[in-house]
A = this chain, B = another copy of it.
Amino acid sequence: MQLAKLDNIDDYLIAPDPGAPRLTRSVEGHDHTGAAIDIRVVEERPLTIYLNAQEVVTAMTIGDYPEYLALGFLRNQGMISASDDITGVDHDDELDVVVVRTKRKTDYEEKMRKKTRTSGCAVGTVFGDMMEGLEGVTLPAVDVRTSWLYALSARINRTPSLYLEAGAIHGTVLCQGSRPLVYMEDVGRHNAVDKIAGWMLSERVEAQDKILYTTGRLTSEMVIKTAMMGIPVLVSRSGFTAWGVEIAQAVGLTLIGRMKGQRFVCLAGEDRLVRDADPGMASDEPRKSGRKGEA
């Protein structure tokens, strides 16, 4: 049984576009009986991100919203900060390159040059930089109603998406109260989050009254990115890693996982939860909902 899809997705500021021809491809193959079949699979493309003249990373992405992805990636890695004056974000579709330009050289470029001199590459510092970036983060003491969480989960699961269309993709949704606002998907779950961060930075959207919902697991990197974005609540259908929980507890982020039907588990920031919903009233999920993310 498949949940009925929503007809009305007008509430979203950005919704998935499962019909976009650039995002999926039809591939011929055979099923288990040997019969020829035709199935749609998601695209996956390299995108190289530059910060000014500095090549930073090549990400594998489905290919939509490359500017948001680049901006959000750099922001979530702590490579650009709120004080950096961004003068341009240029995407070259043929070269699969995005260049983010800032008015002055960023601290990151300086750091990278130093690091390069000693060991030749700055990859290893990236994670350390992310943890450093968390030091100044304070997440607000807002209320989070469990009735919102149930409403969001039900609505997001029924929204037409590339996942429902072609599978093999992760989704992340920026929400406010019981309303999902921006629903991004990508082959890498971190890209979906980074695209939301890029959108928030571009549109100067406030983070403190938001909830982030993801189909992916609650790893350290997901928790760090959410905290870097200033969002106090992260919700997932999937499970946890120990370090993800530890960081959430340290920065005071509300971390909710294994959210399916009426069930969920909260392993950090329980104090924000307002239990206004009767879990017995939230309809339990049918056995096979077509959604991924088994805990």
List A residues at the B interface (Cβ < 8 Å): 24-25, 27-34, 37, 39, 41-46, 48, 54-58, 60, 112-113, 116, 119-124, 126-127, 146, 166-168, 187, 217-221, 238-245, 258, 262-268, 270, 273, 275, 279, 287-288, 290-295
Q: Report how many copies the assembly holds.
A: 2
Which residue of B is nearest A125, CB measured? Answer: B58
Which residues on the B side are within 8 Å of A27 (C-beta)? 240, 242, 245, 267
Q: Which of B56, B120, B220 contacts A112 (CB 8 A)?
A: B120
Q: Which of B29, B244, B258, B270 contacts A44 (CB 8 A)?
A: B244
Closest Cβ–Cβ distance, residue A135 to chain B (whole Å):
18
The 4 A-B residue pairs with the shortest CB-CB distance in the complex, in nearest-first order: A168-B239, A167-B239, A29-B267, A44-B241
* Contacts A217-B168, A265-B31 given; does A55 touch B241 at CB 8 Å: no
Closest Cβ–Cβ distance, residue A111 to chain B (whole Å):
11
Which residues on the B side are within 8 Å of A293 (C-beta)? 292, 294
Q: Give 18 A-B pairs besides A28-B267, A167-B240, A168-B239 with Cβ atoms closer than 8 angstroms.
A: A29-B266, A29-B268, A31-B265, A32-B263, A39-B267, A43-B241, A44-B244, A54-B119, A54-B121, A55-B123, A58-B123, A58-B127, A112-B121, A116-B116, A120-B122, A167-B238, A168-B238, A287-B288
Report how far A112 CA is from B120 CA in the complex, Å.
Answer: 8
Which residues on the B side are within 8 Å of A43 (C-beta)? 241-243
Which residues on the B side are within 8 Å of A112 (C-beta)? 120-121
Can you show 20 pairs from A to B with CB atoms below 8 A apart? A24-B242, A29-B270, A30-B273, A31-B264, A37-B265, A42-B240, A44-B220, A44-B243, A56-B121, A60-B220, A112-B121, A121-B123, A123-B123, A167-B238, A167-B240, A168-B219, A187-B217, A187-B241, A290-B294, A291-B294
Closest Cβ–Cβ distance, residue A147 to chain B (whole Å):
12
Which residue of B is nearest A292, CB measured? Answer: B294
* Contacts A32-B263, A123-B121 given; does A167 touch B56 at CB 8 Å: no
